[in-house]
Chain A
Amino acid sequence: MEKKIRVLVAKPGLDGHDRGALVIAQALRDEGMEVVYTGLRQTPAQIVNAAIQEDVDCIGLSCLSGAHNELFPEVVRLLRERQADDILVIGGGVIPQEDIPFLESAGIAKVFTPGSPTKDIAAFIRQRVQPKSVNVTKPPKKIAHIGIAVHSIEAALPFYCRVLGLKLLGCEEVAGEQVKIAFLEIGESRLELLEPLGPDSPVARFLTKRGEGIHHIALEVDDLEQRLSSLKENGVSLLNDTPREGAHQAQIAFLHPKQAGGVLFELCQHPGKVRRAGADE
C-alpha cells in the first residue's frame, strides 16, 4: 500500500484563532493525508520536535497575530539545525503580500493567504512531497504541434505559406472545441492555426483576453490515459481528467497552465499508437 502523506498542522506563538488550522487539518484528512494538530501556543522548538517525532512530510504553520515574520523562519532554522529540512514547510494566516517574498526566502515553500481553496493546498503538498513519482514517467516523444490562435485562417495563411514557405496539409473543423484548424508541416512537427467557430469557443475567449499569438504546445505521448491518472494522483491540476477527441481522431487532454508559468500544454496520442495494458482484447 502507498504510504500516506503525513502533515503537522501547527499554531506557533500565542494566537488563539484556530478556525483556519482546524478546517485545513480536516480538509487534508479528507484528501487522504494523515494529519496531526499541535493545538494552540506552540513554540517553534516544540513544533520541530513534534514534526520529527511524528515523522511528517510537511508542516503547515498558521498565524493570525502578525508574528509570522519572527516565528515561521525560526521553525525552518530549527529544522535545518536538526537536519530535518527535507520536511516541507508551508504557512497561512493574516499575512500581508509584501511579507511573502521574505518568508519564501527564509524557506517557507508557499504562503496561502485567506481565501485559498483547501484543494490547492492539498495539491501543492502532494506535488512537493512526492516529486519522484512524477519524474518516473518517461518524457513525451516529441512536440506534436504548436497551436497559434488567429482571428481568421484565411487572413493568416499567406504569411505562413508565402513568407515562411510552410506546406499547408489541410484544414479541419473540430466541432467539440468549436474551432477550425489549419495544419502546416514543419519537419516531424506541425504548426496549427486555430480559428474560433463561435463566441463560446475556448480560442475565442483566448483571443478576447490575450489577442492573437501562441495558444498551446502539444506533446505527443503513447500512454495518455495512464499518464493522466498518474498526473492526477500526484496533484497536478488538469483541465481534462480523461482524454477527449481532437483533430485527426487524436485523443487529447490539456494541463492547467497555472503550474506551467502560464503555458498551456496539450498531451496528445494519435490512433494506431494506443498501448493498452494487457492488450489482447
Chain B
Amino acid sequence: MSNKDFTQLYQEWQQQVKDRLVKAPERKQRFATSSDIEVDRVYLPEQIDGAYMGKLGFPGEYPYTRGVQPTMYRGRLWTMRQYAGFGTAEETNKRFRYLLKQGQTGLSVAFDLPTQIGYDSDDPMAAGEVGKVGVAIDSLEDMETLFDGIPLDQVSTSMTINAPASVLLAMYIAVAEKQGVPSSKLSGTIQNDILKEYIARGTYIFPPKPSMRLITDIFAYCSEHVPKWNTISISGYHIREAGATAVQEVAFTLADGIAYVEAALQAGLDIDRFAPQLSFFFNGHNHFFEEIAKFRAARRIWARLMRERFGAKNPKSWQFRVHTQTGGSTLTAQQPDNNIVRVTIQALAAVLGGTQSLHTNSRDEALALPTEESARIALRTQQIIAYESGVTDTVDPLAGSWYVEYLTDQIELRALEYMEKIEKMGGAVAAVEAGYMQREIHKQAYETQRKIEAGEQLVVGMNCFQLEDEPQPELLRVDPSIGRKQKEKLDALRARRDNAITEQTLARLRQGAEGTENLMPLILDCVRHYATIGEICGVLREVFGEYRAV
C-alpha cells in the first residue's frame, strides 16, 4: 500500500468515529488544555505507513495496541471499581451503598476464604476465617441481603470467585430473578480463572480437568443466557503479586488464556460466541513506563493470537479488555500514607495503558482490610486522575515515544518467547501441573527479596528513609462474633427450607456431574432451593475429587 492509501484509511476511520459519535457522544464537545490548546482525539506520526499500521493501528482497531475503543476515555471513563467485602452480607451491603453514593461506578465483591473454597461458615475447615478477607456467603439468603436495595440491571458487578464461580453466578442470577431482572440484562464479571489459582493464588478446589469443564459450562451457558456477562477474568494480577515480572505476567496470563480458548473449542463452542466475553485482569505495578508498555503489548499479542491462530472473525473476539488493580505487594506496612503516592503512580500507569476498569488499593493494605476513610482516599485517587489530570483528553498519549514503543516491542518479544516454551511443554495446564510457572515466579520473588535486603532495590520507608517511631494507624476490625452469627443463620435456614426438595436438586447435580451435561442449570436449581455453597461443592468434591498442590 502507498502512503496515500494509508491516509485514506485514516480518513475512513475518522468517518466511522464520527458516525459513532452521533449515537455515543464524547464527554465534552471540545477538549483543551489550560492554555486553550485544543486537544485532538488521537495523535499520529506525520507519515502513516505499513510499519505503523502493523504495530499500532488506529484506536479501537486491530491490533488494538492503542486501545480497544476508538475514543477511549474521551467517550467514557474507565469503570471505577473498588473491591470490597468483609464480615456479614449486611455490613458489606452497607459498604456497597456507601461506595455507590461516593461516585463508584461498579461493584466488586470480595468473598471470604470459606466461600472461595466452597465451605459453609460452620465447617471445621472454616475456623477463624469466616468474614475475614471478604463477605461470608453460605446460601442465596446471604446473597439476597448482599444486594438488598441495589437494582442489578443498573449496576455492573465483578465477583472475585474462582473454583465455585458457577455457584455464585447462579446465586446472582437467582437474586436478579427475585428482583424481576432477566439474566440477559445482567452485566458484570466472575473471575473464574482456575489456572492462576494453581499457579499463584491458592483457592482451588477441584483438579484441573473438572475445573476446566465447570469453566466451559459457564462459557456455554452465558453465551446463551447472560450475554453481557464477562465469563472469565484471566488474571495476571496474582501471578505478579506472587513475584513475577511484567513479562512473566503477560506471558503466563496469555498462556492461560490460550488454554481456556482451547478448552472451549474442544467442548464444541464457537469461538466468536464465547471469545467476546473473555476479559483480563492485570496488576498496576511500580515501573511506570514498563507498566504502560505491558498493557499495549498484551493487547497486540492477544489480538494477533485470536485472529491469526484461532481464526476469530468477530473483532470483539480480538479485543483484550482488562481490569487493573494496583499492586498490593508493592505497599509497605511502614509509613502507610506513602502508599497513597505509590497507588497514584500505579493507577496513572494503568490509565495511560488503557485499562477498562480500575481498583486502587487503600494505604492500609499491608496492615489490614481498608477502613472506610482509606477506601475513600483510594477512590478519590482515581477521580483526581480522571477529572483533574487531563490524561483522559486524548487516546494513548504515549504512543510514538521511542522509549515506550521500544518497551512495548520488548515485552511482546520476551513474552512470546515464554509462551512458546509453555506451548512446547504441552500448554498452560501441563505447565501448571509440572509446577513450571510456580517455580519461575518463586525464583523471581526470592531474587526481589534479596535485592531489597541487599539495598539494591530501594523501598522508601522500608529499607531507606525509615522512621524510628511509627504512629499506628486506625485499622478495620472484623467483628469476631461473625462466625457464630453465620452458624445461627445456617441452622435457621436448614430448619426452615424444604429439605426434601433441596436434597432432590443436589442429587440431580450429582447425576449431572457424573455425566457430561452442562452443570449451570442444575446448580441454578440447587441455589434457588437454598442449597448451601458447602452442600453444592461437597457434592462436586465427591464426584470430582480435590486438587493437591505439586
- 10 residue pairs A–B, Cβ–Cβ below 8 Å: A14-B116, A14-B119, A15-B129, A15-B133, A19-B242, A66-B133, A69-B128, A69-B480, A94-B366, A117-B453
Q: Which residues of A contact B243 (CB under 8 A)?
A: 19, 23
Taking the complex as formed, is B113 at the interface, i.e. its CB lies under 8 A from any CB of chain A?
yes
Chain A residue with Cβ nearest B459: A115
Q: Which residues of A contact B242 (CB under 8 A)?
A: 18-19
Q: Which residues of B contact A17 (CB under 8 A)?
A: 201-202, 241
How distant is the Cα of A65 from the Cα of B203 in the complex, in angstroms? 12
Partner-binding segment picked from B52-60, B225-233, B327-335: B327-335
The contact of A115 among B113, B334, B368, B446, by CB within 8 Å, is B334
B113 touches A94 (CB 8 A): no
Given contacts A15-B202, A114-B366, contact A23 B449 (CB under 8 A): yes
Taking the complex as formed, is B549 at the interface, i.e. its CB lies under 8 A from any CB of chain A?
yes
A13 touches B129 (CB 8 A): yes
Given contacts A22-B445, A96-B368, contact A65 B129 (CB under 8 A): yes
Q: What string of 1s and 0s marks CB contacts (under 8 Å) between A1-35 and chain B? A: 00000000000011111110011001100000000
Within 8 A of B (CB), among A101-139: 113-115, 117-119
Taking the complex as formed, is A208 at the interface, i.e. its CB lies under 8 A from any CB of chain B?
no
Taking the complex as formed, is B493 at the interface, i.e. its CB lies under 8 A from any CB of chain A?
no
Q: Which residues of B contact A113 (CB under 8 A)?
A: 333
- Contacts A19-B445, A114-B333 aside, 10 further interface pairs with beta carbons under 8 A come to A14-B117, A14-B129, A16-B203, A19-B329, A22-B445, A65-B133, A66-B368, A70-B128, A98-B475, A119-B453
A15 touches B113 (CB 8 A): yes
Q: Which residues of A contact B133 (CB under 8 A)?
A: 15, 65-66
Taking the complex as formed, is A83 at the interface, i.e. its CB lies under 8 A from any CB of chain B?
no
Taking the complex as formed, is A178 at the interface, i.e. its CB lies under 8 A from any CB of chain B?
no
Given contacts A96-B368, A115-B334, contact A14 B241 (CB under 8 A): no
Taking the complex as formed, is B472 at the interface, i.e. its CB lies under 8 A from any CB of chain A?
yes
The contact of B202 among A40, A69, A94, by CB within 8 Å, is A40
Smallest CB–CB gap between A28 and chain B, Å? Answer: 12
Smallest CB–CB gap between B547 and chain A, Å? Answer: 10
Given contacts A14-B117, A96-B368, A115-B462, contact A71 B128 (CB under 8 A): yes
Smallest CB–CB gap between B47 and chain A, Å? Answer: 47
How distant is the Cα of A65 from the Cα of B478 in the complex, in angstroms? 11
Taking the complex as formed, is A189 at the interface, i.e. its CB lies under 8 A from any CB of chain B?
no
How distant is the Cα of A101 from the Cα of B97 in the complex, in angstroms? 36
B203 touches A67 (CB 8 A): no
B197 touches A16 (CB 8 A): yes
B445 touches A23 (CB 8 A): yes
Q: Which residues of B contact A119 (CB under 8 A)?
A: 453
Taking the complex as formed, is A97 at the interface, i.e. its CB lies under 8 A from any CB of chain B?
yes
Chain B residue with Cβ nearest A18: B202
Q: Which residues of B contact A114 (CB under 8 A)?
A: 332-333, 366
Instruction: Return the 6 tightest CB-CB contacts between A and B, nearest first.
Output: A16-B202, A70-B128, A67-B128, A14-B113, A66-B132, A114-B333
Smallest CB–CB gap between A91 and chain B, Å? Answer: 14
Interface size of B by CB at 8 A reads 41
Taking the complex as formed, is B126 at the interface, i.e. its CB lies under 8 A from any CB of chain A?
yes
How distant is the Cα of A65 from the Cα of B202 in the complex, in angstroms? 12
Within 8 A of B (CB), among A21-69: 22-23, 26-27, 39-41, 43, 65-67, 69
Taking the complex as formed, is B287 at the interface, i.e. its CB lies under 8 A from any CB of chain A?
no
How distant is the Cα of A16 from the Cα of B125 in the complex, in angstroms? 14
Taking the complex as formed, is B495 at the interface, i.e. its CB lies under 8 A from any CB of chain A?
no
User: Which of A13, A19, A40, A119 gathers most chain B CB within 10 Å?
Assistant: A19
Q: Which residues of B contact A26 (CB under 8 A)?
A: 442, 446
Smallest CB–CB gap between A106 and chain B, Å? Answer: 13
Taking the complex as formed, is B100 at the interface, i.e. its CB lies under 8 A from any CB of chain A?
no
Q: Which residues of B contact A71 (CB under 8 A)?
A: 127-128
How distant is the Cα of A67 from the Cα of B134 in the complex, in angstroms? 12
Given contacts A19-B243, A94-B367, contact A70 B127 (CB under 8 A): yes
A23 touches B446 (CB 8 A): yes
How distant is the Cα of A187 from the Cα of B449 in the complex, in angstroms? 51
Interface residues of A (CB under 8 A from B): 13-19, 22-23, 26-27, 39-41, 43, 65-67, 69-71, 94, 96-98, 113-115, 117-119
Q: Which residues of A contact B369 (CB under 8 A)?
A: 66
Taking the complex as formed, is B370 at the interface, i.e. its CB lies under 8 A from any CB of chain A?
no
B114 touches A118 (CB 8 A): no
Q: Which residues of A contact B472 (CB under 8 A)?
A: 97-98
Chain B residue with Cβ nearest A44: B127
How distant is the Cα of A127 from the Cα of B316 in the complex, in angstroms? 61
Q: Which residues of B contact A115 (CB under 8 A)?
A: 332-334, 459, 462-463
Q: Which residues of A contact B442 (CB under 8 A)?
A: 19, 22-23, 26
Q: Which residues of B contact A118 (CB under 8 A)?
A: 449, 453
Q: Which residues of A contact B128 (CB under 8 A)?
A: 13, 67, 69-71
B334 touches A65 (CB 8 A): no
How distant is the Cα of A144 from the Cα of B203 in the complex, in angstroms? 60
Q: Which residues of A contact B459 (CB under 8 A)?
A: 115
Q: Which residues of B contact A69 (CB under 8 A)?
A: 128, 480
Smallest CB–CB gap between B365 and chain A, Å? Answer: 8
The contact of A43 among B125, B132, B475, by CB within 8 Å, is B125
Smallest CB–CB gap between A169 and chain B, Å? Answer: 37
Q: Which residues of B contact A67 (CB under 8 A)?
A: 127-129, 132
How distant is the Cα of A97 from the Cα of B332 in the complex, in angstroms? 14
Smallest CB–CB gap between A180 and chain B, Å? Answer: 29
How distant is the Cα of A20 from the Cα of B71 in the complex, in angstroms? 42
A14 touches B114 (CB 8 A): yes
Q: Which residues of A contact B127 (CB under 8 A)?
A: 13, 43, 67, 70-71
Smallest CB–CB gap between A211 and chain B, Å? Answer: 16
How distant is the Cα of A23 from the Cα of B448 in the complex, in angstroms? 10
Q: Which residues of B contact A27 (CB under 8 A)?
A: 446, 449
Given contacts A66-B368, A98-B472, contact A14 B332 (CB under 8 A): no
How distant is the Cα of A40 from the Cα of B368 in the complex, in angstroms? 21
B113 touches A65 (CB 8 A): yes
User: Which of B119, B449, B462, B480 gathers most chain A CB within 10 Å?
Assistant: B449
How distant is the Cα of A15 from the Cα of B242 in the complex, in angstroms? 13
The contact of A94 among B126, B368, B549, by CB within 8 Å, is B368
Q: Which residues of B contact A40 (CB under 8 A)?
A: 202, 549
Q: What string of 1s and 0s marks CB contacts (under 8 Å) between B322-341 and chain A? A: 00000001001110000000
Smallest CB–CB gap between B145 and chain A, Å? Answer: 22
Smallest CB–CB gap between B478 and chain A, Å? Answer: 7
Chain A residue with Cβ nearest B133: A65
Smallest CB–CB gap between A46 and chain B, Å? Answer: 11
Within 8 A of A (CB), among B304-353: 329, 332-334
Smallest CB–CB gap between B201 and chain A, Å? Answer: 5
How distant is the Cα of A162 from the Cα of B480 in the complex, in angstroms? 65
Q: Which residues of B contact A23 (CB under 8 A)?
A: 243, 442, 445-446, 449
Q: Which residues of A contact B445 (CB under 8 A)?
A: 19, 22-23
How distant is the Cα of A94 from the Cα of B133 in the complex, in angstroms? 11
How distant is the Cα of A98 from the Cα of B116 in the complex, in angstroms? 28
